[in-house]
Amino acid sequence: MTIIASLLRNAQLPESPTERLDAELLLAAAIGKSRSYLHTWPERIVSSEDAQTYAGYLQRRRGGEPVAYILGQQGFWKIDLEVAPHTLIPRPDTELLVETALELQPALPAKVLDLGTGTGAIALALASERPAWQVTAVDRVEEAAALAERNRKRLGLANAEVRVSHWFD
């Protein structure tokens, strides 16, 4: 039997610039708890099944796989998005684009087009902030558009739509 503190102490992710954060995110996911739980209850025993899941996550991370792909999700703006290897992981600096668009355009009705939407991060963040906007998210990659549509549905955003299309078609 292994405790939380021991698992985190022995994570060994030397290639990661955010070694401790990665280990915490992966362990929290493996045991189905929050990161704050790890800090609050470091002496709690982790089941062997959860410890094996965590070990698998660590192995994938050591192989260079991003944490977001391992967990299948990434926070962006005020929303959580499903992510997958056929899309880029939404980055915090892209939130500046959302912030700028919201500052430049008031909450009046508008039509917005997001080309190359990927996960739908920009389009869905804008749609969540501006219910009066009609946001269309486009990607030529069917898997990416399907992922963005799953994110749209999960977030319940009726003012956004996702389409598969080449930009010039």
What CATH architecture does domain 80-164 belong to?
3-Layer(aba) Sandwich (3.40)
pLDDT for 167: 81
What residue ranges of the chain are covered by domains with CATH 3.40.50.150? 80-164
What was the pLDDT predicted at 107? 80
Predicted structure pTM score: 0.88
Q: Which H/E stretch holds residue 135? A: strand 133-139
Per the document, the length of the chain is 169
pLDDT attached to residue 42: 96
Average pLDDT by consecutive 10-residue portion of the chain (169 residues)?
A: 92 93 97 97 96 98 96 96 95 95 90 97 98 97 97 98 89
pLDDT at residue 105, rounded to an integer: 84
Q: What is the pLDDT of residue 78?
A: 96
CATH 1.10.8.10 domain residues, the chain = 2-71
In this prediction, residue 74 carries a pLDDT of 95
pLDDT at 165: 94
pLDDT number for residue 168: 77
The closest alpha carbon to 26, from 7, 54, 6, belongs to 54
Q: Which residue has the tokens 């600096």?
A: 93
Tell me the CATH number for domain 2-71. 1.10.8.10
